[in-house]
Amino acid sequence: MLVIGELINGMYQNVEQAIKTKNRSIIHKLAKEQLEAGADMLDINAGPHGADPKETMRWLIETIREVTPAPLAIDSTKLDVVELGLKLAGEGSMINSTKADDEKLDIYVPLAKKYKAKLIGLTMDKKGVPRDKNVKCELAAKILAKCMEMDLPLEDVYIDPIVLPVNVAQAQCAELLDVLREFKLISDPPPQTVVGLSNVSQGTKQRSLINRTYLVMAVASGLSGAIVDPLDKELMDAMITAELLLNKNIYCDSYIDAYRKR
Amino acid sequence: MALELLKERWSSAINVLKVGAVKEEGGTRASAITVGGQTTLPFLLDEGGMPHRPVVAMEIFDVAPLEWPVSLLEPFGDAVKDPVKWAKKCINEFKADLICLTLKGTHPEAENISADKAVELVKNMLKEISTPLIIIGSGDKEKDNDVLARCSQATKGENCLFGLAAQDNFKTLVASCMADDHCIIADSPIDINIAKQVNILITDMGFKPEKIAMHPSTAALGYGMEYVYSIMERSRLAAFVGDKMLAMPFIIFVGQEAWKVKEAAANVADEPGWGDERMRGPLWEAATAVAMLHAGADILVMRHPEAVATVKRSIDSMMKGNND
């Protein structure tokens, strides 16, 4: 399971503040804590408010690189910010993300290849997020076909079926689990999948419980990566236990410690 | 069209374990022994690397093992009565890569040899031989915690391999080996879950994972060997995809298991249909050992010189990538 820590995001007040005041220690702490808690990769988002997102991305990555060489997921809708991020972060980074439109794929797939980066492909296009699971599968197949055509290794491609909040689109939660299972039929070996988990509990009163319950359900449906808050210990423990019960790791009495010792 | 075989590629490697220390490292060994580091299942050299070949340790006791069958005692002659002489014979005549000294005589129900005497023997052994040394207790927990701790202290700097640390008795030995910079054997009863747990318990104390050898238990040909084999294989497969708590090299005590079974030990007078035990016994031990090599054994602890020679020939041949 690829665990991507979501906490370095200018949308959060503490990070926004750190960016404004150039407080490096807040970013250092967030990077180290997430990795210690079991994150494999850190998502980096300059946030919605900054005047110069490129400069913010540069500062964030350079600040993180002072404490860790861990791979980074460059989270931006702006192409120049993504490219700068990939350049600074080095090989093994991730592009978060591209939509499934041809004109987007024609840019982002070669970009991922050029920087030896992983790529998150969203099953949505300029028409928006499809409700119909068949359309989601169709878009997933389109993304994968494009990657194959352009020689991007499929193990570097993560399909994101887009989690919607339970209090906005309740029926979509169960539907998405079906989609995860159906994605497996698209290719052999099956494509990798990722979700932005916390979205499911947006605006609810039980965020942590909803997040971890849904994560376990998604893992059981074949999910292979998730953007999460790794400092939510109960969430991480539930995920580690779900993977154990699916026979992905070998049991021992201290299996939770063992996971963190990887 | 030529058939192309699918090749596995793994993301992680087995730890590299070094036993023994030369002068520059604070020891007195002529050379150290290094095992592990594999990035492939055993001998699949087209799929990955085996940077260090498996090695054979010969097992000797602090007291003459007169209970051994005659066919096993014979090749050593009088040397079994003198551990140092016995060890030298194993190294010089039978080409053992290292020596495994089992302090069987320290067991309270055997000769109950004192810790002082054991320390004296171990020190003398290190003075007289130049290979690295494996030191094993008698199996009595309380006595081992005394004897092995004392031996560890007395051999500080030599980077010996001490055993056995088990789930219900590991703290004293781990603390000693950590203080005196030795390697340790993590023991488990043919149980992969416990094998992983013991490694976690040992490393939780601050012990370096790369100084651990795993003993997943040993069974002889015909006596559950395939069960051990399957545990070793599962453990390796987990290690290759990133389970660091199962990435330790294996030590397998072939000799003590193979010679326990009647098919190896019984003499031809008692079992006329089974053939000469002088040939049968070493064959039984060698067959068990070679199967264990294919399961992933890194250090084999063996007894009969002919079995040792056969197995070393097998290792030579398999490391060349052929099975002649």
Domain that holds residue A179: 2-229
pLDDT digits (tens, 9 = 90+) for B297-323: 999 999 999 999 999 999 999 998 754
Please check whether residue A11 lies inside any domain of the structure: yes
State the count of interchain CB pairs (< 8 A) between A and B. Answer: 38
Using CB atoms, pick whichever of B195, B200, B234 lies closest to residue A254: B200
Total number of domains in chain A: 1
A257 reaches B (C-beta below 8 A): yes
Position A50 scores a pLDDT of: 76
Query: Residue ranges of chain B with pLDDT lower than 70?
Result: 1, 322-324
- The verdict on A252 touching B (C-beta cutoff 8 Å) is yes
Q: Among A66, A84, A81, which residue's Cα sits nearest to residue A29? A: A66
Q: Would A235 be classed as within a structural domain?
A: no
In angstroms, rounded to a whole number, what is the distance separating the alpha carbons of residues A22 and A56? 10
All domains of chain B in start order, with CATH: 16-319 (3.20.20.20)
Phi, psi angle pair for B238, to nearest 5°: -70, -40
Residue A238 within a domain: no
Whether chain B has a CB inside 8 Å of the CB on A21: the answer is no
Three-state SS at B100: strand
Pick B244's closest partner by Cβ from A251, A253, A261: A261
Residues of A in contact with B192 (CB under 8 A): 250
At B173, the amino acid letter reads L
For β-strands B33-36 and B16-19, DSSP reports them as: antiparallel
| pLDDT at site B6 | 84
pLDDT score, position B324: 44
Q: Compute the distance between CA of residue A78 and CA of residue B84 in angstroms, rounded to an integer.
A: 74
Using an 8 Å CB-CB cutoff, list chain B residues near A261.
200, 203, 244-245
Nearest Cα of chain B lies from the Cα of A255 at a distance, in angstroms, of 8
Under an 8 A CB cutoff, do B244 and A262 touch? yes
As a dihedral over the C-alpha atoms of residue A69, residue A70, residue A71, residue A73, rounded to 10 degrees, the angle is -110
Which residue among A250, A254, A257 places its CB closest to the CB of B243?
Answer: A250
Give pLDDT, residue B1.
67
Q: Is residue A254 part of a domain?
A: no
In this prediction, residue B323 carries a pLDDT of 45
* Backbone Cα Rg of chain A: 18
Distances (CA, A) of B105 to A225, B84, B101, B285: 56, 15, 11, 24
3-state secondary structure of B302: strand
ipTM exceeding cut-off 0.90 for this assembly = no
DSSP class of residue B17? Answer: E
CATH number of the domain residue A37 falls in: 3.20.20.20
Q: Pick from A121, A131, A137, A136: which is nearest to A168 by CA?
A: A131
Instruction: Look at residue A261 and tell me if it is in a domain.
Output: no
Residue A262 belongs to a domain: no
Listed as ranges, residues in chain A with pLDDT below 70 are 262
Residue A227 host element (H or E): strand A225-228
| A225 three-class SS | strand
* A250 domain-assigned: no
What is the reported pLDDT for A225?
A: 97
Residues of A in contact with B246 (CB under 8 A): 250
Q: Which two tokens stand for residue A63?
A: 């600040």
Considering the domain boundaries, does residue A239 fall inside one? no
